[in-house]
Amino acid sequence: MTGLFGRVLIAVCMAGVATFAMSARAQDAKPLPLKVGTLKQGSLTNVWVAKQSGIFAKNGLDVELIEFRNGNEAVAAQRGGAVDVVLTIPGTAMAAVERGFDLVLVSGSETSQATAPDTGSIVVRKDSPIKKLADLKGKTIAISGTHTQKTVAIQTILKRAGVQPTDFNFIEMPYAAQVDALRGKQVEVVASLDPWTTIFRNSDFATVLAYDYLESLPEQPIGGWYARREFAGKNAEAMKRFARSMCDVADYLQADSERARASIAAYTGLDPALIKDVPLNKWTCKIDLKTWDRIGQMMFEGGELQKPFKIEDWMFESAKPNVIR
């Protein structure tokens, strides 16, 4: 009897384990709804591809992509609960947190390049007397925003060239207006991003003086995915599935550069001939802790943060498996 009872007990336990496993798989397969903010720009091709290719569905997410005209609109919508997850450059998100926003990092998204050319650039005319960074002393640089990670990157490389923040000025100008402004000599210097950096590189009137992201800190994070802390805490499984999707889509895009470029063109509507010359985005879910810490320090040194930022306190659980120490 003892032997028979033991065998029956083992069978029951095994059946219970199998039932639990099947239940866990069913629960894992149940699609969870998630509203993700997006913009019509190349860096957000990854989230569009994740939906179009079925990567989100494979990871158990039912994602609605909500398009905004700019990052400020997306952040405002997130604060109001109209969207759950948004992408922004880490320095901006750090400053927002210090000012009372309850954002947490749920996944990495993109870094700058390791070698030139890169997306972020300082550009002058080919006939300009400005030939090196030290020549920017006393000059005015047109830039999309004056209190950003990009402005801090520019300040960092100019300091190394002996140009202090008090030695030059920034004026705000949308990226899309910079090409005509520099061509028409309305400004002397612009601080640009791709695809406009590539347009400048391919033009007959402009030259890149420096690549600010690359030269201030190679492979620095220039995109991350964020959720409100309260939302992330209540939807931890969705955050885990989203982070897993960002890893999967990064691998998918990096595996085939031609497919990635075709996806960028399809999503943004940009000319495929231009996309062919643009440095391919370095999408990644990985978070190099040392590099992210350095961005926080640069933001502090540049006056955009009041105190050094503690990256590890900021990361949600979904991001932690992808941390590189």
pLDDT tens digit string along 69-85? Answer: 877 777 788 888 899 99
* Model confidence band, residue 29 (pLDDT cutoffs 50, 70, 90): low
Average pLDDT of the segment spanning 86-99? 93
Q: What is the mean pLDDT of the chain?
A: 91
Does residue 292 contact residue 93 with C-beta atoms inside 8 Å?
no
Asked whether the predicted pLDDT for residue 201 surpasses 50, the reply is yes
Average pLDDT estimate for 142-153: 96
Contacts of 179 (CB under 8 A, 6+ apart): 196, 199, 200, 203
* Model confidence at 23: pLDDT above 70: no
- β-pairing, 221-228 vs 282-283, is unpaired
Residue 2, pLDDT > 90, answer no
**Alpha-carbon distance 234 to 141, whole Å?**
44
Q: Is the pLDDT of residue 41 over 80?
A: yes
Q: Are 118 and 213 in contact (CB under 8 A)?
A: yes
> Mean of the pLDDT values across residues 96-111?
95
Domains in the chain: ranges and CATH: 30-112+219-324 (3.40.190.10), 121-216 (3.40.190.10)
Report the predicted TM-score, pTM, of the whole model to 2 decimal places: 0.88
> Contact at 8 Å (CB) between 179 and 196?
yes
The predicted model gives 94-108 an average pLDDT of 94
Written as one letter, the residue type at 264 is: I
More confident: 36 or 68? 36
**pLDDT band at residue 116, thresholds of 50, 70 and 90?**
very high
Q: Cα dihedral sign for 259, 201, 92, 300?
A: positive
Residue type, 310: K
| Model pLDDT, residue 14 | 42
The DSSP H or E segment spanning 80 is: none
When pLDDT is averaged across residues 309-317 and rounded to a whole number, the result is 92
pLDDT at 203 over 70: yes
pLDDT of residue 28: 54
Q: Stretch 246-275: mean pLDDT, rounded?
A: 97
Q: Which residue has the higher pLDDT, 305 or 30?
A: 305
Q: What is the pLDDT of residue 77?
A: 83
For residues 97-119, give the mean pLDDT: 96
Query: What does the pLDDT read at residue 69?
Result: 82
Other C-beta atoms closer than 10 Å to the C-beta of 110 total 22
Please report the pLDDT score of residue 42 as a whole number.
Answer: 96
